[in-house]
Structure 1
């Protein structure tokens, strides 16, 4: 791999962001793996970052890309940079206030982009030995199962986007037709985002699957945080049925992610162990979106708040410490004995549905982690792993949920 395109860009008197050789850089990362990318690439990439103030054109995206690409060199590698989350158009509770249907459409668009890109990658690897990440490729039967689950995971979002899913009896034929059709609607921005958000640490085939599925989960969790924030506002404004409706919707969206777990379960354990040794420092315990969802349901107990779970996400830790309002607290302000729930069946039902969906999500996560790691091994990045997940698996979602949900008693 020759970094000449990058050197040519640097040689311009006034380089522009739109001419930055993203494709060449990403190809190099796919060829070597981020953990093994040589200095012949990282040195000019650092030079590119130093020249950013003089580069013409919008610089924010390029700056974020360089930060993601150089995270290991900079000693700033973590879960966010591993998944390239700063480069994904993920909904955010602070800056994405707006109609729920518009936010859902944005999430659905991203969700389908990630999954159809994964399907395309699997099909390309099946068809060509020259596809990237050549190590430990699965056999055709595994790929067939994988793309079937990926199509199932994408289907609800595709339907909401008014996308006609082609009819086909053979899952592989359906996957090929679906990826060909969805590729037509991709914008230049979509294509750039998909390219720049895949910088695996190794050359192991299954890491592509791992990254795309985790990115899809993060997108959904982020939208759940938006929904919970909206539900809290509705409770504060005494629009309790509206809060219940928003929670029911959030529960439905979380249940839709079930095929993602089935998809992730097709990952070969030996492949996972081959690349995870290079992910030290990046762990899902650092998921900001998940901790935001959890803390918006109820304020974490002091022991959990001051544990690695929240210390790993400093901004959420600060929000909670500074008095972030949870749904539990919003309900306390209305009626301390929570009879508001009994008097507003829609809200009570929404809370029940959401709590049940979160519990199922946690339990499935734990089962898959046990399959990949066993019951004692540390998690990705030398974190507590399955014992940590077991501890959190059955924690109450809402503090007083036992008052209205028999499963939580």
Structure 2
């Protein structure tokens, strides 16, 4: 949506407050945010007259114009003052400000770069499945790309992609959406195609059957790129979808372990089948990343030092739910970067490998237990393919560059490509 030049300042402000998809000048966006910061910091204004979503949208407009890395110090200091004054009032705003202020606070890392705390509040408050949220993230990639094309933005390495790349990107995004939402994804794609300049909340509200319409308001605020490079937006959405996918796999693995312990192997088989399916679907996300132009990647990557996928807590939780990693793995940067996962390991928790080993020893439900073993082998094989694809993609994108998590980059990934999830179960080995 483009804000018309004939709108009064008050009408334009109202439009910008209501949507992150409105096109507005850099000067107007800056002025509106300044006014809103004044409003929040005015001690005479009661809290019930303040709207966290409005503040979030105006901050997002500013970030989309300049990139989070380039926000002015005064802006950051005033946002920090708002957080100090009103912290604890609104979980979504608390999480949002923590992500926007991460560089200002000196705590910039993968979780805040990807706004995962905001997504996690959405999961908790709306009882969403992580897989459903992952599908919406893919839908937003389609919306973002078609919106840029509809607005005829310049085609260049740092702006929108050429038509062939666009088609590939949209096709893979739609495939991932469909794998999670089924036929409902057709309605969502049709809504985007009818109005490519609409924002995500407006699109979701038009859907008749999808029970996700109420999550869109904060969802559109969960991309706070460090730069203005076009491809960074979709790159962040892909990484967020990966995190949500592994989050969904984690709770299924926990429930599968519990089902085996409860002598319900049929339920464990069902859940493990879903885990394998999710792992297979993750390959589509890497195909999406492969559409990113290396020039774009290296341009915004200059400002992402300190944030790396090596810090992914959900992936490490997935790994530890499969089986306790060997000590060499636990001593590697992969686990040194996730102290919360390390702490959970120290407290002890069940693993799929241990539950399966005990089920085999008890010699009951032999057919179902054999199926569980076959599914673990399928998961191992899918995970190995996923890692190999990651290395191939990183080699093309990174070359000899070091990783943004201060590792050796491709060399580090290659070192662990043969690491097995079920290394303690020789019978699960794959060729």
Q: TM-score range by the shorter chain?
A: 0.7 to 0.9
SS at match of 2:220: helix
Residue 303, structure 1, aligned to residue 328, structure 2? yes
- What does residue range 362-381 of structure 1 map to in structure 2 within 5 Å? 362-374=387-399, 376-381=400-405
Rounded to whole Å, the distance in 1 between the matches of 2:336 and 2:65 is: 35
Give per-residue Cα distances to partners, 1:227-265, cap 9 Å, x unaligned: 111111122223233222211111012212322211110
Instruction: Compare 211-220 and 327-336 and name the one that shifted more.
Output: 327-336
Give per-residue Cα distances to partners, 1:17-61, cap 9 Å, x unaligned: 5355211111111111111110231121011111115x8xx4211
- What does residue range 72-111 of structure 1 map to in structure 2 within 5 Å? 72-89=103-120, 106-111=129-134
Residue from 186, 208, 230 that aligns with 1:165: 186
Residue from 391, 403, 406 that aligns with 2:427: 403
Rounded to whole Å, the distance in 2 between the matches of 1:325 and 1:364 is: 29
Per the alignment, residue 411 of structure 2 pairs with 387
Residue from 159, 176, 189 that aligns with 2:193: 176
Residue 147, structure 1, aligned to residue 164, structure 2? no
Residue 114, structure 1, aligned to residue 137, structure 2? yes
Checking the alignment, whether the CA contact within 8 Å between 1:245 and 1:347 is kept in structure 2 is no
Checking the alignment, whether the CA contact within 8 Å between 1:82 and 1:199 is kept in structure 2 is yes
Rounded to whole Å, the distance in 1 between the matches of 2:157 and 2:84 is: 34
Per the alignment, residue 123 of structure 1 pairs with 146
**Could you tell me the TM-score, scaled by structure 2's length?**
0.81
Residue 293, structure 1, aligned to residue 293, structure 2? no
Shift of 1:75: 0.4
Checking the alignment, whether the CA contact within 8 Å between 2:310 and 2:405 is kept in structure 1 is no
Rounded to whole Å, the distance in 2 between the matches of 1:381 and 1:294 is: 19
Rounded to whole Å, the distance in 1 between the matches of 2:157 and 2:76 is: 23
Shift of 1:286: 0.3
Per the alignment, residue 64 of structure 1 pairs with 95
Rounded to whole Å, the distance in 2 between the matches of 1:119 and 1:360 is: 26
SS at match of 1:280: coil
Rounded to whole Å, the distance in 1 between the matches of 2:362 and 2:262 is: 18
Query: How many residues are paired up?
Result: 388
Rounded to whole Å, the distance in 2 between the matches of 1:195 and 1:258 is: 25
Rounded to whole Å, the distance in 1 between the matches of 2:373 and 2:157 is: 51
Residue 202, structure 1, aligned to residue 227, structure 2? yes
Checking the alignment, whether the CA contact within 8 Å between 2:260 and 2:356 is kept in structure 1 is yes
Instruction: Compare 118-127 and 180-189 and name the one that shifted more.
Output: 180-189
Residue 277, structure 1, aligned to residue 290, structure 2? no
Checking the alignment, whether the CA contact within 8 Å between 1:341 and 1:347 is kept in structure 2 is no
Rounded to whole Å, the distance in 2 between the matches of 1:45 and 1:134 is: 33
Shift of 1:140: 2.4
Per the alignment, residue 51 of structure 2 pairs with 18
Checking the alignment, whether the CA contact within 8 Å between 1:115 and 1:150 is kept in structure 2 is yes
Checking the alignment, whether the CA contact within 8 Å between 1:83 and 1:211 is kept in structure 2 is yes
* 1:39–1:129 CA distance, 2 compared to 1 (3 A): farther
Residue 31, structure 1, aligned to residue 65, structure 2? yes
Shift of 1:74: 0.3
Residue 253, structure 1, aligned to residue 275, structure 2? no
SS at match of 1:380: coil
Per the alignment, residue 99 of structure 1 pairs with none
Greater relative CO, 1 or 2 (CA 8 Å, sep 6+) = 1
SS at match of 1:51: helix
Per the alignment, residue 352 of structure 1 pairs with 377
Give per-residue Cα distances to partners, 1:118-149, cap 9 Å, x unaligned: 11111111122579x99433222221221121
Instruction: Specify every segment of 5 or more residues in structure 2 that has no aligned partner in the other structure, as ranges.
Output: 1-29
Runs of 4+ aligned structure 1 residues displaced above 4 Å come to 172-175, 177-183, 186-189, 334-343
Checking the alignment, whether the CA contact within 8 Å between 1:146 and 1:266 is kept in structure 2 is yes
Rounded to whole Å, the distance in 2 between the matches of 1:199 and 1:177 is: 26
Checking the alignment, whether the CA contact within 8 Å between 2:253 and 2:272 is kept in structure 1 is yes
Rounded to whole Å, the distance in 1 between the matches of 2:420 and 2:157 is: 43
Please tell me the root mean square deviation across aligned C-alpha atoms, in Å: 3.1
Checking the alignment, whether the CA contact within 8 Å between 1:342 and 1:348 is kept in structure 2 is no
